[in-house]
């Protein structure tokens, strides 16, 4: 049986329309899912929408809709974008679905029965946009420490989760599992946060109604983060012991932005501990995008709309840029100039040009019928070795979620291919009939190296790779057998590849 791999994105709030931040996490998860599938894993890739809570309720009131009408309308925009971005998710969960509500009610009741959720009273500072309570000392100049907006004093009867009880167990888990929270700098932040002491957490609200009612006390709705985090299990069928749940829980990796790490690395694992359930293997928090040097925000009117980028540059350019430009885990800046530069140099000049040059030569010298190679010489073996080493490097990088480094490793082989052409000078060989066999070997090695390159590229830019592989005479299913040198069969048809990426004058 294939090994299982479960990757998730955050479920996005429907009070906002999708922007490049959302696209970033989702594309990263997609690349991982595609790569793991290619490597023979049985992959469950989950994304979805977070539809309850005060934020959504308020946005709906402003829009003159019911919360569900708002959610139904906005969720379509996310789903349409994921389709355009060629996101290969297995499932899409909405927190208003019955399957999800059932899961949330179950885990809440279960923890309550076990004694770790109790009824109490709350008085503290509340930030509505962040849906978070803060103590007096956590406020910065009387404002929310996360978003710097004003907070209000709220007193309410509330259910509490006995998070304090799990402080030591959580620390022990983090210490014993260095891979659990990544990157390392973020792991250290969480360790310090937990060491400062965990307070019991308010897990219900009575000030609004848009949410899942607390079982047995309908005055309360369940805290939106308690509700949302449970999606990772409810999508698999929890609390039922479905085949999916048995097979895929616990998740291999929750991909998230750094803004929501505390919820995933402190709240979620302690909820799971209280319910006696296994914890996810890894939580990886990536950095944030600014836009042309500024924070992306509605008020600055600089929100980058992925659909606009796709219209302008094409889907694969967007996918490539997001993962290549910034090491995953660090903050980065989006600019059109940087994107056009990557497009022109990495994609048009390097990757695209290499393929059109090589396939054009195969057509010109061998009428597009791939010749069988003779014995490899030193430079051929060097190219073959470099191609094979790339596979190991990329595999390691993707295990570490180092997408940018993985792409760099692939592009080293692209450069090696371009250099190989210069060094082997096929146009000189072509003039000498005695060098026909040598020319055949050069063409074979050149195209075979690119076939493997594009097999890997298919995880990042599926459309581009499909076109490239087609022109190399090997379209169709992609799997790891395609990563072995020698896959190109002598006699197959090579067609001249059109420019994969037209250059853009900036």
Q: Which is nearer to ligand ME8, 208 or 288 (CB)?
A: 288
Give helix 315-325 / helix 20-38 axis angle, nearest 10°. 90
**Shortest spacing between CB 384 and ligand ME8, in angstroms:** 39
Q: Which is nearer to ligand ME8, 53 or 373 (CB)?
A: 53
Angle at 111 between CA 105 and CA 113, to 5 degrees: 95
Instruction: Classify residue 347 by its DSSP letter.
Output: I
| Peptide bond before residue 40 is cis, with ω within 30 degrees of 0 | no
End-to-end CA distance of the chain: 51
Q: How far apart are CA 217 and CA 221, in angstroms?
A: 9
Q: Which is nearer to ligand ME8, 26 or 424 (CB)?
A: 26
**Shortest spacing between CB 476 and ligand ME8, in angstroms:** 34
Q: Which is nearer to ligand ME8, 89 or 231 (CB)?
A: 231
Torsion of CA 286, 292, 296, 300, to 10 degrees: 170
**Shortest spacing between CB 378 and ligand ME8, in angstroms:** 46
Q: Which residues contact 281 (CB under 8 A, 6 or more apart)?
A: 179, 180, 250, 251, 252, 253
**Shortest spacing between CB 11 and ligand ME8, in angstroms:** 5
Q: Are 43 and 87 in contact (CB under 8 A)?
A: no
Q: Which is nearer to ligand ME8, 10 or 426 (CB)?
A: 10
Q: Are 254 and 232 in contact (CB under 8 A)?
A: yes
Task: Please tell me whether residue 427 adopts helix, strand or coil conformation.
Answer: helix
Q: Which is nearer to ligand ME8, 181 or 229 (CB)?
A: 229
Query: Which H or E run contains 466?
Result: helix 462-471
Q: Which is nearer to ligand ME8, 13 or 320 (CB)?
A: 13
Q: Which is nearer to ligand ME8, 63 or 360 (CB)?
A: 63
Tell me the Cα Rg of the chain: 26
> Structure tokens of 293?
């040097």
**Shortest spacing between CB 48 and ligand ME8, in angstroms:** 9
**Shortest spacing between CB 38 and ligand ME8, in angstroms:** 24
Q: Which residues contact 444 (CB under 8 A, 6 or more apart)?
A: 370, 371, 372, 373, 488, 490
**Shortest spacing between CB 129 and ligand ME8, in angstroms:** 10
**Shortest spacing between CB 23 and ligand ME8, in angstroms:** 9
**Shortest spacing between CB 21 and ligand ME8, in angstroms:** 2
Q: Which is nearer to ligand ME8, 101 or 454 (CB)?
A: 101
> Structure tokens of 299?
């008020």
Beta bridge partner(s), residue 283: 181, 254
**Shortest spacing between CB 330 and ligand ME8, in angstroms:** 11
> Which residue, judged by CB position, is nearest to ligand ME8 in the bound state?
21
Per-residue DSSP letters for 447-458?
HHHHHHHHHHHH
Of the candidates 434, 340, 319, 451, which has an alpha carbon nearest to the alpha carbon of residue 387?
Answer: 451
* Helix and strand counts by DSSP (H, E) for the chain: 20, 16
Binding site for ligand ME8 (CB under 6 A): 10-13, 16, 21-22, 24-25, 50, 228-229, 231, 256-257, 259-260, 288-289, 296
Task: 462-466: list long-range contacts, CB under 8 Å, 24+ apart.
Answer: 462/34, 462/86, 462/316, 463/86, 463/315, 463/316, 464/316, 464/351, 464/500, 464/501
Q: Which is nearer to ligand ME8, 213 or 257 (CB)?
A: 257
Q: Are 448 and 486 in contact (CB under 8 A)?
A: yes
Q: Which is nearer to ligand ME8, 137 or 301 (CB)?
A: 301
**Shortest spacing between CB 69 and ligand ME8, in angstroms:** 19
Q: Which is nearer to ligand ME8, 23 or 391 (CB)?
A: 23
Q: Which is nearer to ligand ME8, 21 or 239 (CB)?
A: 21
Q: Which residues contact 123 (CB under 8 A, 6 or more apart)?
A: 153, 154, 155
294-295 vs 253-257, strand pairing mode = unpaired
**Shortest spacing between CB 302 and ligand ME8, in angstroms:** 11
**Shortest spacing between CB 287 and ligand ME8, in angstroms:** 7
Residues for the chain: how many in total? 506
């Amino acid at each position: 049986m294939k090994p299982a791999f479960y990757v998730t994105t955050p479920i996005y709030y429907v009070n906002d329309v999708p922007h490049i931040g959302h696209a970033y996490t989702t594309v990263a998860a997609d690349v991982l899912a595609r790569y793991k599938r290619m490597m023979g894993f049985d992959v469950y890739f989950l994304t979805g929408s977070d539809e309850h809570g005060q934020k959504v309720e308020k946005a709906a009131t402003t829009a003159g809709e019911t919360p569900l009408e708002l959610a139904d309308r906005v969720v379509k925009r996310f789903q349409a974008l994921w389709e355009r971005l060629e996101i290969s998710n297995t499932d899409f969960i909405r927190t208003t679905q019955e399957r999800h509500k059932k899961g949330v009610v179950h885990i809440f009741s279960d923890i309550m029965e076990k004694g770790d959720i109790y009824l109490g009273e709350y008085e503290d500072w509340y930030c509505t946009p962040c849906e978070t309570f803060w103590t007096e000392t956590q406020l910065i100049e009387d404002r929310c420490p996360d978003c710097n907006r004003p907070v209000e004093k709220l007193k309410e009867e509330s259910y509490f989760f006995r998070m304090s009880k799990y402080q030591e167990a959580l620390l022990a888990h983090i210490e014993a599992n260095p891979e659990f929270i990544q990157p390392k700098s973020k792991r250290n932040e969480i360790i310090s946060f937990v060491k400062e002491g965990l307070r019991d957490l308010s897990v219900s609200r009575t000030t609004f109604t848009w949410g899942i009612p607390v079982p047995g006390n309908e005055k309360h709705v369940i805290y939106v983060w308690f509700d949302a985090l449970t999606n990772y299990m409810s999508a698999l069928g929890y609390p039922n012991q479905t085949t999916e749940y048995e097979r895929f829980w616990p998740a291999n990796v929750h991909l998230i932005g750094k803004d929501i790490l505390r919820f995933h690395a402190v709240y979620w694992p302690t909820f799971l501990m209280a319910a006696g359930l296994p914890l996810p293997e890894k939580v990886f928090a990536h950095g944030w995008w600014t836009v042309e040097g500024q924070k992306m925000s509605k008020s600055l009117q600089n929100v980058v709309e992925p659909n606009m980028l796709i219209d302008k540059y094409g889907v694969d350019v967007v996918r490539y840029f997001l993962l290549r430009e910034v090491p995953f885990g660090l903050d980065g800046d989006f600019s059109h100039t940087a994107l056009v530069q990557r497009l022109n140099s990495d994609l048009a000049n390097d990757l695209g040009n290499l393929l059109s040059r090589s396939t054009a030569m195969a057509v010109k010298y061998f009428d597009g019928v791939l010749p069988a190679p003779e014995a490899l010489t030193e430079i051929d073996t060097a190219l073959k070795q470099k191609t094979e080493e790339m596979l190991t490097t990329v595999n390691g990088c993707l295990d570490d979620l180092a997408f940018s480094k993985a792409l760099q490793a692939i592009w080293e082989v692209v450069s090696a291919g371009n250099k190989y052409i210069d060094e082997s000078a096929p146009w000189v060989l072509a003039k000498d009939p005695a060098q026909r066999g040598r020319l055949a070997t050069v063409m074979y090695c050149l195209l075979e190296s690119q076939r493997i390159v594009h097999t890997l590229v298919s995880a990042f830019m599926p459309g581009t790779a499909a076109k490239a592989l087609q022109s190399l005479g090997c379209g169709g299913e992609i799997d790891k057998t395609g990563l072995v040198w020698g896959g190109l069969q002598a006699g197959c048809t090579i067609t001249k590849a059109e420019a994969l990426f037209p250059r853009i004058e900036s």
